[in-house]
């Protein structure tokens, strides 16, 4: 009787182990790939933006051009800004360039900017 129970236990253990090996690695981090075009489209939906500064001037921000910086694991942006208003005698235009990193916060499933340069 014991021999039959041991054989049954061995078979079930082997089947269970094989089943676990067939499952994807539970410790692996989930991943999701987003193309640069998808990022650009998502960002562009929020622009242009206008920021009034104390009734003295307005800053108009155009949609930034995004670029991926995989060598340093960051994102870069270049944005056109126009400034005009009562404090300025004419309209000024310029650009600024910014690169930053993002991180995933698992606790609330959000993405946050971690640093700028």
- pLDDT of 103 > 90? The answer is no
**pTM for this model (two decimals):** 0.58
Helices (H), the chain: 2-22, 36-44
**Confidence at residue 7, expressed as pLDDT on a 0 to 100 scale:** 44
Query: For residue 10, what pLDDT band results from cuts at 50, 70 and 90?
Result: very low
Beta strands in the chain (DSSP E): 49-53, 57-61, 65-69, 74-84, 92-105, 110-116
**Domains of the chain in sequence order:** 31-116 (3.15.10.40)
21-80 per-position pLDDT tens digit: 555 555 666 777 878 888 889 888 988 999 888 888 899 999 999 898 888 888 888 999
């Amino acid at each position: 009787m014991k021999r039959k129970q041991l054989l049954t236990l061995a078979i079930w253990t082997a089947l269970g182990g094989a089943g676990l090996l067939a499952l994807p690695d539970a410790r692996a981090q989930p991943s999701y790939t987003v193309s640069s075009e998808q990022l650009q489209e998502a960002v562009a939906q929020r622009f242009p933006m206008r920021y009034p500064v104390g009734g003295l001037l307005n800053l108009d921000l155009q949609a930034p051009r995004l670029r991926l910086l995989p060598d340093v694991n960051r994102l870069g942006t270049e944005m056109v800004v126009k400034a005009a208003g009562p404090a300025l005698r004419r309209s000024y235009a310029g650009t600024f360039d910014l690169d930053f990193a993002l991180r995933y916060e698992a606790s609330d499933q959000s993405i946050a900017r971690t640093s700028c340069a």
